[in-house]
């Protein structure tokens, strides 16, 4: 049993490495033989440049700056979104009151909010954290509320006829049954957060991967642009994998859908 | 005094498509310790009767008394075994599912565990306690449901076609086990089914319902055969024929 799990895990990792290898190979072939332009560098020089930026400590600085904003905004947004989603899913009056809000705001993308957030909070950390929180909240709310609504009627009835009061039904049945939905909502929100942070840093920031992209464009440092892009892709990939790992660890054994 | 007494109970559902009378003028007394099977065709309102006794739904006419006091909602004195196994908690192990009611009462972990183990053994699942519901078969899940209801030590068990979704072999095995458990625990059981053989195999009394809408009790057949019941015996066949005769018109009037 343990052996097969480990083999499966190794196969997965080997698959990832091969997949990335193939991606870099195609990139290399396309840049060397197909496009042949200084505007599309092959992976070799880009990786070399990336290594140089790491040695100088510059790349890490940008990554940490962006990740810190994502983490803060994401946690803030989830901390607001989860209880609000639980309330919307549990109480009809709250749903009637707040559903117009969620349905209204979720169609105003965070990118459209950059201008007001800069006007309100300046170009410091606050505006970025606000935007990430904003982009996180509504996805988490909607998926949490949907999760509460999806708790089977018999699960609740079973608890009631075992003697559960209202709070026990909520805390011991509705809440754990909703956890996979909450985590899935957070996972979706995380990918939104990556989109938002780059857009926000492109427009108004002193550091971060978005700012790095923007500066590199100004000075035509084409390798730097690609370093930032690869860094974003790898970070996103790593974050999503860790999320999936968390979801599996929490919910995988009893929920085949994640 | 009867443990449960239904007096002129009726239930009308009102929805967008108009009112639907599920149950009409239903009266029945259940004595302590009996195994009562409520038998009827689909749509006759038998599940509605169970839901009202469980307290999940309120009657629109008449009254339901438990130990002389009106039923006003679900409670730990009536353990329910549901038809589907969606009622189990996927995030808990089999053992923790069984001990769920005890946990609600604040029983300590060690005591809870010992009690849950006892009922796990009673339903024949010794050694499967650490598994989650997704790792168990349909029949095993129904066993866990029965153990969970019993562990809470209710006054009575309400069972809503608990074996309806199982294959015929598993169903027969579980019917035998349930008979044994009932003899061991002496719980009062209200068991809903549409399977004549199942009713004859389990019940001390069988209530045959008229077909819906407005389902009501047509007749009560006492079954005084010894347990375990021999399904091919002449006595069993005689009871089967009696009940079959009663429900025959209901089947052929329906659809």
CA distances from B231 to A3, B34, B171, B175, B199 (A): 48, 20, 14, 12, 11
Asked if B162 is an interface residue toward chain A (Cβ–Cβ < 8 A), one would say no
Domain count, chain A: 2
Cβ–Cβ contact B245 with A under 8 A = no
DSSP assignment of A23-50 equals HHHHHHHIIIIII--TTS--HHHHHHHH
Range of the domain at B135: 88-153
What is d(CA B183, CA B155) in angstroms, rounded to the nearest whole number? Answer: 15
In this complex, the residue of A158, A168, A255 whose CB is nearest that of residue B90 is A255
The reply to whether residue B82 touches residue A158, judged by beta carbons under 8 angstroms, is yes
Shortest alpha-carbon distance between residue B245 and chain A (Å)? 34
Residue where a domain terminates, one of B100, B133, B153:
B153
How far is Cα B90 from Cα B87, in angstroms, rounded to an integer? Answer: 9
pLDDT digits (tens, 9 = 90+) for A183-232: 889 999 999 999 999 999 988 888 999 999 999 988 889 999 999 999 99
| Number of domains composing chain B | 2
Both A146 and A74 in a single domain? Answer: yes
* Claim to verify: residue B17 and residue B117 sit in the same structural domain: no
The answer to whether the peptide bond before residue A127 is cis (omega within 30 degrees of 0) is no
**Could B132 and A152 be called an inter-chain contact, meaning their C-beta atoms sit closer than 8 Å?**
no
User: Does residue A132 belong to any structural domain of this protein?
Assistant: yes
- The ipTM (two decimal places) reads 0.91
Tell me whether B89 touches chain A (CB under 8 Å): yes
In this complex, the residue of B76, B87, B101 whose CB is nearest that of residue A157 is: B87
Q: What range does the domain containing A11 cover?
A: 1-40
Interface test with chain B among A158, A168, A256, by most B beta carbons within 10 Å:
A158
A160 to B133: CB separation less than 8 angstroms, yes or no: no
Give the distance between the most distant pair of CA atoms in chain A.
73
- Residue B145: which of B174, B172, B113, B188 has the closest Cα? B174
On whether both A105 and A229 belong to a single domain, the answer is yes
Q: What is the pTM of this model?
A: 0.82
φ/ψ region of B156 (left if φ > 0, alpha if ψ in -120 to 50, else beta) reads beta
Question: Is residue A1 scored above 80 in pLDDT?
Answer: no
The residue out of B132, B153, B174 marking a domain boundary is B153
A204 and A135 in a common domain: yes
With tokens 């009637």, the residue in question is A96
Instruction: List the single residue in B74, B132, B154 with the smallest CB-CB distance to A160.
Output: B74
Question: Does B243 lie in the same domain as B160?
Answer: yes
pLDDT, averaged across chain B: 90
Residue B178 belongs to a domain with what CATH number? Answer: 3.40.50.300
User: What integer pLDDT is reported at residue B70 of this predicted model?
Assistant: 93
Tell me the H-state helices in A150-221. 153-160, 166-168, 175-203, 209-218
pLDDT tens, residue by residue, A126-157: 999 999 999 999 999 999 999 998 999 999 99
| Nearest-5° Cα angle at A53, A52 to A54 | 90
Specify burial of residue B89 (Cβ count, 10 A radius: 0-12, 13-18, 19+): buried
State the Cα–Cα distance between residues B56 and B74, nearest whole angstrom.
6
Task: State whether A173 and A73 are in the same domain.
Answer: yes
Tokens 């930032």 locate to A228
CA-based nearest residue in chain A for residue B134: A254
The verdict on B100 touching A (C-beta cutoff 8 Å) is: yes
**What is the average per-residue pLDDT within B140-168?**
93
In a mutagenesis test of the B interface, which of A159, A161, A180 is the best target, namely the one with the most B β-carbons within 10 Å? A161
Residue A1, chain B, CB below 8 Å: the answer is no
How far apart (Å, rounded) are the C-alpha atoms in residues A124 and A122?
Answer: 6
C-alpha neighbours within 13 Å on the C-beta side of residue B83: 12
- Residues whose CB is less than 8 angstroms from the CB of residue A234 and which lie 6 or more positions away in sequence, other chains included: none
């Amino acid at each position: 049993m343990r052996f097969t799990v480990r083999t499966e895990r190794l196969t997965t990792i080997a698959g990832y490495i091969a997949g990335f290898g193939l991606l870099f190979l195609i990139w290399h072939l396309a840049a060397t033989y197909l496009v042949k332009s200084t505007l599309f560098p092959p992976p070799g020089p880009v990786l070399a440049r990336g290594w140089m930026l790491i040695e100088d400590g510059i790349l890490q600085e940008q990554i940490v700056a962006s990740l810190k904003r994502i983490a803060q905004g994401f946690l803030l947004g989830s901390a607001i979104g989860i209880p609000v989603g639980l309330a919307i899913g549990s109480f009809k009056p709250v749903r009637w009151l707040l559903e117009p809000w969620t349905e209204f705001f979720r169609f105003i993308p965070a990118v459209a909010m950059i201008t007001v957030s800069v006007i309100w909070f300046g170009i410091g950390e606050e505006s970025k954290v606000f935007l990430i929180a904003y982009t996180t909240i509504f996805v988490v709310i909607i998926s949490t509320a949907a999760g509460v609504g999806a708790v089977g009627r018999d699960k609740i009835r079973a608890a009631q006829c075992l003697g559960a009061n209202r709070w026990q039904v909520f805390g011991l049945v509705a809440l754990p049954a909703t956890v996979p939905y909450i985590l899935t909502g957070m996972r979706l929100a995380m990918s939104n957060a990556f989109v938002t942070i780059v857009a926000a840093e492109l427009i108004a920031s002193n550091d971060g991967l978005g700012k790095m992209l923007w500066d590199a464009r100004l000075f035509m440092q084409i390798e730097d642009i690609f370093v930032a892009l690869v860094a974003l892709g790898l970070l996103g990939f790593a974050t999503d994998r860790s999320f999936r790992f968390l979801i599996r660890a929490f919910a995988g054994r009893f929920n085949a859908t994640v | 005094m009867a443990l449960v007494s239904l007096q002129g109970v009726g239930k009308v559902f009102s929805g967008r498509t108009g009112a639907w009378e599920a149950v009409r003028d239903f009266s029945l007394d259940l004595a302590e310790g009996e195994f009562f099977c409520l038998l009827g065709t689909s749509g006759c309102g038998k599940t509605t009767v169970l839901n009202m006794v469980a307290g999940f739904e309120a009657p629109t006419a008449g009254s339901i008394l438990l130990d002389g006091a009106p039923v006003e909602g679900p409670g730990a004195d009536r353990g329910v075994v549901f038809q589907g196994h969606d009622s189990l908690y996927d995030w808990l192990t089999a053992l923790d599912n069984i001990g769920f009611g005890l946990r609600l009462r604040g029983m300590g972990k060690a005591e809870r565990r010992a009690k849950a183990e006892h009922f796990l053994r009673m339903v024949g699942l010794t050694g499967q306690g650490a598994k989650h519901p997704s790792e168990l078969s349909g029949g095993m899940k129904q066993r866990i449901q029965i153990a969970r209801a019993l562990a809470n030590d209710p006054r009575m068990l309400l069972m809503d076609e608990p074996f309806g979704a199982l294959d015929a072999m598993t169903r027969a095995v579980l019917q035998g086990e349930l008979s044994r458990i009932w003899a061991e625990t002496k719980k009062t059981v209200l068991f809903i089914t549409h399977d004549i053989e199942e009713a004859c195999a389990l019940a001390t009394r069988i209530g045959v319902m008229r077909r819906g809408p407005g389902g009501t009790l047509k007749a009560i057949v006492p079954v005084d055969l010894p347990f375990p019941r021999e399904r091919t015996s002449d006595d069993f066949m005689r009871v089967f024929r009696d009940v079959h005769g009663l429900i025959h018109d209901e089947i052929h009037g329906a659809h």
